[in-house]
Structure 1
């Protein structure tokens, strides 16, 4: 009989239910494997940043978000030119380029050029 205030066991298992059980015994090994993979990737793509390509700082659209700054899709051709980087070279050294973006303010242009130079 069941002791204490526990549920009466009535599990409806299939004959081979153990095959469906997912265990996590490989968790520490997987963690180590991911870490090693990250290090290998960092070595492989060396001159480029490991956290993905460098992106510009842009203002969000609409009245609600236009005071907030966020990461944009890519630098404009004008920003690249001002920083002295060719548009063909930029993606190879980890700088994202967006040829459709326009610079609508001098402050934004200067901020992103400074970001490229540092």
Structure 2
């Protein structure tokens, strides 16, 4: 038969283990919640299409971004070879992977962003950032 003292030590050890494990779980849960707040929620997967206007198109499917990411963040996640200008109303992308804007926005070709909705591509309503 197990002695009372041995049983007491075993129960006390299990209690201490449970207390420590619960403390660690609570600590990591709180830190995870703080991280989710900081990044705006759980990560999301998006599909990015770069259409160079010369017949070349590159798809980046399943690109992982933070929930509060912008179109500009998505672009920078698929290529680092981007040139842009920053204006008071937002970022204007001027070159991607060596392909530059040609002319100006009304009489040429420029890097624009679109989103897919209801079976068609739609102009982005604001700057990419």
**Normalising by structure 2, what TM-score?**
0.27
Q: Which has the higher contact order (CA 8 A, sep 6+)?
A: 1
* Structure with more strand by fraction: 2
* Structure with more helix by fraction: 1
